[in-house]
Structure 1
Amino acid sequence: MKKVFLLGLMSATLCLGLNAQRSVYNRDVRFGFKIDPVFANSFRAAENDIERSGSGFGVNYGLMADILFSDGRGAFATGLEVAHASSELIYSTSSRGLKRAEAAGVDQSYKLKLQYLQIPLSVKLKTNQNNGFRFWGQFGTYMGALLKSRMDYSYGSTSESNVNAMKNTNKVNMGLLVGAGGEYEVAPKTDLFFGIGMENGFTDITANKDWKDGKVGLNRWAIRLGMFF
């Protein structure tokens, strides 16, 4: 509850600041909100004896800010969002995994449920508007701070659900951000925002000193939905 309250307070403070100022270094700024259904979350393990099992769903939601280029056909895009991710790994060797000492000779299955406070940093290029429509492409990065990490695990006849895994999960996540989509003007200075995006994680999600599993990245595909005003 404290984290939700803190996020709400930060969002309210940011919104007040956004309404009070519509320019940064003499560049026009557009603000908006978003909700991105994430239809694919998957861990990417570097080691061959670790398999991913399925792809979980998730969601990103938060605030957007576009600092416009002088010609209006591009922007430096950023914001503040909460990102939820969930995926599963299966360890087929007793030399890796969080429970490797207890699970000798049997597979270990781990489902991690993660929540990040995330800041995207990217360049967005746009076409000229035609009949209210314009298209955009986006390229950049993102930085996320871990808010919550929960884990379901099983091996042999042993299993446990919703275990706190904060100390076994890296506290920072960074990666490549790309996307493409369009905008439609529904009223002066009010645009619907839509598209598709991909996040390709660079950092190791699992704390390697605990898991002994090499690098495990997080990849995500999402539908981008929002509104600028």
Structure 2
Amino acid sequence: MKKIILFTLMGIVAASGLHAQREYYGKKVRFGFKIDPVFANSLKPAENGIDRTGSGFGVNYGLMADIMFSDGRGAFATGLEVAHASSELTYSTNNRGLYRAEAAGQDQRYDLKLQYLQIPLSVKLKTNQQNGFRFWGQFGTYMGALLKSRLDYAYGSTSGDNVNAMKNTHNLNMGLLIGAGGEYKLAEKTDLFFGLGLENGFTDITRNKDWEDGKVGLNRWAIRLGVFF
């Protein structure tokens, strides 16, 4: 709860300064708000005997900041956002899974629900503007600090809901960030931002000492929606 209050205050302070600071070391800075519906969350195991059995929906929301290049056709893009992810795994082997001892050879099904405070770091390149419209492409990385980890599980006739799994989940998530889309000028200093993006995780989500499952990455496809001011 204290973390949520702290991050909420950080967001309020950042939002209150959006129009107070429009330059950074002489570079023009654009600020905005975003909400990205995530239509595919997929936990990707590297080991055999573990299957992806479901892909959940999620959402990213928060602040955007573009530090513009001098030619106006590119930017260093960053921000601060909260990311929600949900996905399912099935462990069909006896020696893997969080409850492998109790399951005694039965398939174990887990639905992980994760929440991160995330910072994207990328380069965004843009075409020239025509009739108020321009295309953009984005490439970079992201870093996420774990805020919440919950799971539902089932094996045989045993099941549990909304179990706290913070100690069984790694605290940091990083990965490749790519995207493409467009911007449309609504007013002199207001641009509509939209596109499609991929977050391809290359860190392990589950703690191997608890799950004995090798690397399990988190991949996400999202629709990018936002407004720059």
TM bin (shorter chain): over 0.9
Give me the whole-angstrom Cα distance separating, in 2, the residues matched to 1:15 and 1:162.
33
Aligned to 2:147: 147
- The share of aligned pairs that are identical, in percent, is 79
Give me the whole-angstrom Cα distance separating, in 1, the residues matched to 2:54 and 2:113.
14
TM-score by length of 2: 0.98
Alignment partner of 1:36 is 2:33: no
| Structure 2 counterpart SS, 1:18 | coil
How far did 1:7 drift?
A: 2.0
How far did 1:25 drift?
A: 1.2
Aligned to 2:79: 79
Aligned to 1:70: 70
How far did 1:104 drift?
A: 1.1
| Structure 2 counterpart SS, 1:20 | coil
TM-score by length of 1: 0.98
Deviations 1:119-152 (A, max 9, x none): 0000000000000000000000000000000000
**What does residue range 186-201 of structure 1 map to in structure 2 within 5 Å?**
186-201=186-201
Count of equivalent residues = 229
| Structure 2 counterpart SS, 1:9 | helix
Letter in 2 for 1:219: N
| Structure 2 counterpart SS, 1:114 | strand
**What does residue range 71-150 of structure 1 map to in structure 2 within 5 Å?**
71-150=71-150
Aligned to 2:159: 159
Deviations 1:19-75 (A, max 9, x none): 211111110000000000000000000011100112100000000000000000000
Aligned to 1:210: 210
Give me the whole-angstrom Cα distance separating, in 1, the residues matched to 2:210 and 2:103.
15
Deviations 1:150-171 (A, max 9, x none): 0000101000000000000000
Give me the whole-angstrom Cα distance separating, in 1, the residues matched to 2:187 and 2:3.
35
Deviations 1:66-99 (A, max 9, x none): 0000000000000000000000100000100000
Give me the whole-angstrom Cα distance separating, in 1, the residues matched to 2:148 and 2:133.
39
How far did 1:217 drift?
A: 0.1
Aligned to 1:176: 176
How far did 1:3 drift?
A: 3.2
